[in-house]
């Protein structure tokens, strides 16, 4: 059976493709693959993305009379790749980005790799498909310190939800954690004494401990003392941030709230949760923080194809965060510690390009949130 989180064929508007009674048909084999992904402990997000991208190809094949994976050959996949290149979106007329084309083809490579291993097909026709090269881009929008502070003062602190929103914004800005990581924060993940935040099962199902500034901690404490007891409907609810209904946030709801404040600030820039992740990394870089420390805080195990992550102690991370993050209660004076990490070949452009890839992935995932 599939895992509790991701349910097969349970997305709104989804329709089956092909003959459900065909044991060698696309639909049945796709469901078996998704089930296998669950057994192998792939994340719900990965399973859903694979499901969506594979179904694009299945519908394309169905329109051309191809109903079984074993009918797919290398020329068929190359034809599909050309189709993706020439495809234009119905609403805007824009082409698919190369990153979007790559994601659809990468899903097929994984699907056919599994089919070949399970002997559903004689060989993997996607094994040698060359994926489009993806350009390295710098972030489209990064906030200045002034712009950040302009956003921070927007929540109505006379209202309990305004205090909650300010606390969430401060956490995003101070820690640079991902949208889903904010949603999944638990009460016991905040360590006020050590000034740290525990991110559990972040991207890649990895735990990490990150520094959080005193200012953000102060707002979280205010929220916990003054607001959360009012929102809480279930005394056993462990989620840190709650909606006005006393329920945990969905990623889409958090995105809506943050985007609303960014638009209200009227700074000529757009974005949501990931905008603060970009901003934190960029401002700390500008303040002299070594890239290695920012990698550790962001949870970037790998940049480009070269693994450069080195284990960094949380005390050191906390010190560097205090020295280089602009949102601090007191101005630190020691600047040498921020730059004394061993140098590697990863550049600031590499780091920011990796953040931009994450931003695109987050935007693509918005459709997965039904709330």
Q: Do 78 and 50 fall within a single domain?
A: yes
Tell me whether residue 179 is in a domain.
yes
**pLDDT tens track for 39-56:** 998 888 889 999 999 999
Among residues 164, 166, 292, 300, the one annotated as catalytic is 300
Active site annotation includes 309: yes
| pLDDT at position 310 | 34
Provide the edge-to-edge strand list for the sheet that holds 208-211.
Answer: 190-191, 196-199, 208-211
Q: What is the mean pLDDT of residues 213-235?
A: 95
Inside any domain, residue 242: yes
> Does 47 share its domain with 74?
yes
Where does the chain show beta strands of DSSP type E?
190-191, 196-199, 208-211, 302-303, 306-307
Is position 161 within any domain? Answer: yes
Q: Tokens at residue 154, please?
A: 């927007």
| 103 shares a domain with 85 | yes
Q: Tell whether 90 and 212 lie within a shared domain.
A: no
Q: Does one domain contain both 36 and 129?
A: yes
The one catalytic residue in 203, 228, 292, 318 is: 203
Which among 55, 164, 179, 274 is annotated as catalytic?
274
Rounded to an integer, what distance in angstroms lies between the CA atom of residue 305 and that of residue 27?
A: 33
> Does residue 274 carry a catalytic annotation?
yes
* Domain shared by 129 and 212, yes or no: no
**Judgement on whether residues 168 and 187 belong to the same structural domain of the protein:** yes
Q: Are residues 120 and 162 in the same domain?
A: no
Could you tell me if 299 and 153 lie in one domain?
yes
pLDDT(66) > 80: yes
In order, the DSSP letters of 269-307 are: ----HHHHHHHHHHHHHHTT--HHHHHHHHT--EETTEE
Domain with residue 170: its CATH number is 1.10.443.10
Task: Note whether residue 275 is domain-resident.
Answer: yes
331 and 191 within one domain: yes
| Domain-located, residue 116 | yes
**Domains identified in the chain, total number:** 2
> Looking at residue 102, which CATH number applies to its domain?
1.10.150.130
Q: Is residue 13 part of a domain?
A: yes
Return all residues near 23 (Cβ < 8 A) that are at least 6 apart.
none
Longest dimension (CA), the chain: 70
pLDDT over 50 at 290, yes or no: yes
What does 166-179 look like in DSSP terms, one character per residue? Answer: HHHHHHHHHH---H
Domain that holds residue 120: 1-135
Predicted pLDDT at 7: 53
* Residue 277 annotated to the active site: yes
**Which entry of 104, 178, 208, 321 is annotated as an active-site residue?**
178
Output the pLDDT for position 258: 96
- Residue 178 annotated among the catalytic residues of the structure: yes
Q: Which of 65-79, 103-117, 269-283, 287-301 has the lowest mean pLDDT?
A: 287-301
Residue 140 domain-assigned (yes or no): no
Catalytic residue among 55, 277, 292, 318: 277
What percent of the chain lies above the pLDDT cut of 90?
Answer: 55
Between CA 317 and CA 280 the distance in angstroms is 14
Q: Does the CA dihedral 208-213-218-222 come out positive or negative?
A: negative
CA nearest to 225, candidates 275, 282, 164, 311? 164
Both 354 and 223 in one domain: the answer is yes
Q: How far is CA 61 from CA 64, 67, 77, 255, in A?
A: 5, 7, 10, 35
List, for residues 137-161, the tens digit of each pLDDT value: 655 678 999 999 999 999 999 999 9
Q: Do 147 and 214 form a contact (C-beta atoms < 8 A)?
A: no
Predicted confidence at residue 318, as pLDDT, reads 73
pLDDT in tens, 28-39: 999 999 999 999
Query: Of 135, 160, 175, which residue sits at a domain end?
Result: 135
The residue out of 135, 161, 183 marking a domain boundary is 135
The reported pTM is 0.63
84 domain residue, yes or no = yes
pLDDT digits (tens, 9 = 90+) for 293-328: 888 888 875 544 223 323 445 666 677 777 778 876
* Residues 198 and 320 occupy one common structural domain: yes
Indicate the residue among 135, 164, 180 that finishes a domain. Answer: 135
């Amino acid at each position: 059976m599939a895992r509790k989180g991701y349910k097969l064929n349970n997305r709104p508007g989804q329709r089956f493709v092909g003959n459900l009674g065909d044991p060698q048909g696309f639909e049945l084999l796709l469901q078996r693959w998704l089930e296998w992904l669950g057994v192998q402990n792939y994340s719900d997000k990965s399973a859903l993305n694979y499901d969506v991208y594979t179904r694009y190809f299945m519908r394309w094949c169905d329109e051309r009379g191809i109903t079984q994976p074993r009918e797919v050959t290398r020329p068929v996949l190359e034809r599909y790749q050309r189709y993706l290149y020439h495809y234009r979106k119905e609403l805007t007329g824009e082409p698919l980005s190369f990153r979007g084309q790559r994601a659809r083809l990468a899903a097929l490579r994984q699907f056919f790799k599994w089919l070949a291993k399970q002997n559903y097909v004689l060989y993997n026709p996607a094994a040698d498909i060359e994926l489009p090269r993806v350009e390295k881009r710098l972030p489209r929008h990064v906030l200045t310190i002034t712009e950040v502070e302009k956003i921070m003062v927007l929540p109505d602190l006379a209202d309990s939800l305004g205090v909650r929103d300010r606390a969430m914004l401060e956490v995003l800005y101070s820690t640079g954690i991902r949208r889903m990581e904010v949603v999944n924060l638990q009460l016991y993940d905040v360590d006020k004494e050590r000034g740290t935040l525990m991110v559990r099962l972040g991207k890649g199902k990895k735990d990490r401990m990150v520094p959080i500034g005193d200012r953000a901690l102060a707002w979280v404490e205010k929220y916990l003392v003054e607001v959360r007891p009012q929102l809480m409907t279930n005394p056993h609810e462990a989620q840190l941030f709650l909606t006005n209904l006393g329920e945990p946030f969905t990623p889409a709801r958090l995105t809506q709230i943050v985007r609303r404040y960014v638009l209200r600030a009227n700074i000529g820039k757009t974005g949501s949760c990931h905008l603060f992740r970009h901003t934190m990394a960029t401002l700390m870089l500008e303040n002299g923080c070594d890239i290695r420390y920012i990698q550790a805080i962001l949870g970037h195990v790998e940049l480009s194809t070269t693994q450069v992550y080195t284990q960094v102690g949380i005390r050191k991370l906390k010190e560097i965060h205090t020295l280089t993050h602009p949102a601090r209660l007191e101005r630190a004076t020691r600047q040498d510690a921020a730059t004394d990490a061993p140098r590697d070949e990863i550049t600031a452009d590499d780091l920011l390009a990796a953040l931009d890839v994450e931003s695109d992935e987050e935007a693509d995932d918005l459709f997965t949130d039904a709330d």
